[in-house]
Amino acid sequence: MAHLFNRNVLLGVSGGIAAYKSAELIRQLQERGASVRVIMTHGAQEFITPLTLQVLSGNPVHTELLDEQAELGMGHIELARWADVLLIAPATADLIARLSAGRADDLLSTVALATAAPLLLAPAMNQQMWKNPATTANIDTLVKRGAQIVGPAAGQQACGDVGPGRMEEPPFIADTVASLFETGQLAGKRVVI
């Protein structure tokens, strides 16, 4: 199993049915040693509660752009600086489009613009939405800007369709996050202390 010891993973959860997988994703990231904080869009809160993700992560869940409780009232900057990686899972077609356009109209999209951390997206949407040329162009734009994409997987979807668009499974996503930090510098070396 890949490791994320001493790594800060900021998990963005957007509003798709795959949001339910974010609970297991938090566990997978923590099992690899990561500290996890969560940002949820309003749509995500329709699928899974902030309380669930707060209990699992051990940290308050962030939902609002303007946070009076945040130091200096700039929670988005605090979160952006804290993150070693910004993982958005699920990344819906809408969120991908907003990120591609450079919009900052909620906490998650604002943090995505404000962070210097790597951006990793785990798309989740209907297979036809995934195949749409607009989505393809948006993904291409984000990849050109340095974002990395994990998935989507193909298979049965909540709507009954079959095809690409399912969010990858949490263990695979967590391993992909860990691979971002593996340098291989000690591969094949023995260390005696």
Which amino acid does the sequence have at 38?
A: V
**DSSP assigned state of 187:** T
pLDDT at 60 over 80: yes
Instruction: Give the predicted TM-score (pTM) of the model.
Output: 0.88
Beta-bridged to residue 70, according to DSSP, are: none
Helix (H), strand (E), coil (C) string for 139-184? HHHHHHCCCEECCCEEEECCCCCEEEEECCCHHHHHHHHHHCCCCC
Under 8 Å between Cβ of 34 and 110: no
Determine the average pLDDT of the residues in 19-36.
95
Whether 159 is catalytic: yes
* Interval 126-159: pLDDT, tens: 888 999 999 999 999 999 999 999 989 888 777 7
Question: For position 186, what pLDDT does the model report?
Answer: 42
Phi, psi of 75 (to 5 degrees): -60, -35
Of these residues, 159, 162, 179, 182, which one is catalytic?
A: 159
More confident residue, 114 or 191: 114
Confidence of residue 187 (pLDDT cuts 50, 70, 90): very low
Q: What is the mean pLDDT of the chain?
A: 87
Residues with Cβ within 8 Å of residue 59, at least 6 apart in sequence: 35, 36, 37, 38
